[in-house]
Amino acid sequence: MSIIYHIVGKPLPGKQKSMLSQFRTGAGIMSRLGSLETRVSNIVMGNAAGNIGLACKFNNFSSAMRALADRESDPHWQELMETMGSNISMELQSRGLLRLASGELDLSAKVHHIRTYSMKRDHLPQALEMFKELEEIKDANTKVAAIVPSVSADMSVLHALYQNNSLEEAGNAMDEVGMSEAFQKLVIRASQLGTLEKSTISTIA
């Protein structure tokens, strides 16, 4: 099981560099407190384009919660909070915990393409079965994962995550797999379980 602590913020005008610096510092602190991987990213296309995200990966909920608890008494975190308070750089958009439900999560992948479906929880088992079929038709350069919220403002979603090492690789996957008959048939079946609400592409900052 993998758990992701995830934050997304909207940079204030002229504050993108400050926000990136603050998120990178936060990523370093979370790594020291037990995060297995971290990812600071720019959302470059689709929903929330222009925002910046921070993702921190843990083995389980207890490890994630312990890191968040330890963070509050960490002097480097306290210093970062003072800096962020005196140099406000963003508007917080979301913060929560996500869970890997299927596939492989790679926060080091340079490109993440996320397709978000609104979906009732009783449809989730059927949707996760479809990820097994997706694994069979994806190309060799793409890693696929299903992500679901555990602590979120919106619990009725499923995120299909496609991970590549370049935008060109992601484009090739969209051409060769995304436009294929087999994939389009999966999309039609998925539409019977939920509604594709938004699509987002982010790159490592």
For residue 1, the model assigns a pLDDT of 83
Tokens for 133, please give them: 């079929």
Tokens for 131, please give them: 């990820």
Radius of gyration of the chain (CA): 17
Q: How far is CA 85 from the centre of its chain?
A: 26
User: pTM value?
Assistant: 0.94
For residue 44, the model assigns a pLDDT of 97
For residue 82, the model assigns a pLDDT of 95
For residue 164, the model assigns a pLDDT of 97
CA distance 124 to 149: 12
Q: Which residue has the tokens 């993702």?
A: 55
Tokens for 53, please give them: 């995200």
Strand partners, 119: 194
For residue 72, the model assigns a pLDDT of 95
CA distance 11 to 29: 21
- Give the DSSP letter string of the chain: --EEEEEEEEEPTT-HHHHHHHHHHHHHHHHHTT-SEEEEEEEEEETTTT-EEEEEEESSHHHHHHHHHHHHT-HHHHHHHHHHHHS--EEEEEEEEEEEEEE---TT-SEEEEEEEEE-GGGHHHHHHHHHHHHHHS-TT-EEEEEEEEE-S--SEEEEEEEESSHHHHHHHIIIIITSHHHHHHHHHHHTTEEEEEEEEEEE-
Residue numbers of the chain with a pLDDT score lower than 70: none
For 127-177, how does the pLDDT look when each residue is reduced to its tens digit (9 = 90+)? 999 999 999 989 999 999 999 999 999 999 999 999 999 999 999 999 999
